[in-house]
Amino acid sequence: MTIKRQTERRERGATLVEFALIVPMLILLLISIFELGAAFKNYLTISYLAREGARLSAFLGTDIDADCTMVTGLATQIGGSSLAKLQRIEIFRADSAGNQVMSDTNTFTFTGTDPTNCTHWSQVVTWPSTSRQTEVSATGSPPLDVIGVRLVLTESWMTGFPPYSGNYTVDENTIVRMEPEAFA
C-alpha cells in the first residue's frame, strides 16, 4: 500500500510540473491570438477604407471639393478612437507602373475636433483636384490619371505583454483610374 501511495504522489507531482510548464505557453498562445486578431482587424479596416477612398476620389473627378469630400467621408467611417490614431490620409497621382508620384501628393492630417469639417484637417496640396485628367480624347492622349489613396494608422498593442509591446503601423494604399467624364 505504501508503494501505491508513493507512486500516486510522484504522478501528481509530475502532473503539477507538466502543468506549470504548459500554462505559460498556453497563455502566450491566447494573447497572440487576441493581439494578432485585433491587428488583422485594423489592417482589414484600413485596407477597406483605402479602397473606398480611391473609388470615391475617382468618382468625384475634378470637382473643386473632391479631396475634402473624400477625406471627410472616410473620417465618418473611421470613427472617433481610430481617427485619433490616424497619422495621415494621402491622395496621390500614380505613374503608369502604379507607383506614388511624390510631387503630386496631397496630405491630410486631422488637427481639429470635427472630422466632417474640412477646416479641421491640416492640408498640403500639391495636386489640385481641378488639374486631374478625366477627359478621354479620341486619340487616347493624354491618358486618364490614376489616383491613389494611402492611409497610415499607428496603433498600440492592447496587452503590452512581450512580444506585443509598443506600437505597430498599418500603411495601406489603393490606386484606381480616374472616371472618364466625356469625350473631348
Average pLDDT, the chain: 90
- What's the pLDDT tens digit per position in 160-169? 988 899 999 9
Statement: residue 40 has pLDDT above 90 = yes
Statement: residue 2 has pLDDT above 90 = no
Q: What's the longest Cα–Cα distance across the chain? A: 101
- Domain containing residue 75: 34-177
71 within domain boundaries: yes
Q: Domains in the chain: how many in total?
A: 1
What's the rounded Cα separation, in Å, for the pair 135 and 180? 5
17 within domain boundaries: no
Check residue 136 and report its DSSP letter. B
Which cell numbers in the block locate residue 184?
A: 473631348
> How would residue 136 be classed by pLDDT, with cut points 50, 70 and 90?
confident
H/E run at residue 177: strand 167-177
21 within domain boundaries: no
170 within domain boundaries: yes
- What's the pLDDT tens digit per position in 78-112? 877 788 899 999 999 999 899 999 999 999 999 98
Q: In angstroms, what is the C-alpha Rg of the chain?
A: 26
Share of the chain above pLDDT 70, in %: 93
Statement: residue 137 has pLDDT above 90 = no
Share of the chain above pLDDT 90, in %: 70
* Beta strands per DSSP E along 83-131: 86-94, 100-110, 121-124
Stretch 47-68: mean pLDDT, rounded? 95
6 within domain boundaries: no
> How would residue 183 be classed by pLDDT, with cut points 50, 70 and 90?
low
72 within domain boundaries: yes
What's the rounded Cα separation, in Å, for the pair 40 and 45? 9
14 within domain boundaries: no
State residue 132's pLDDT score.
94
84 within domain boundaries: yes
Backbone angles phi, psi at 16, to 5 degrees: -65, -40
> How would residue 180 be classed by pLDDT, with cut points 50, 70 and 90?
confident
Which cell numbers in the block locate residue 78?
A: 473611421
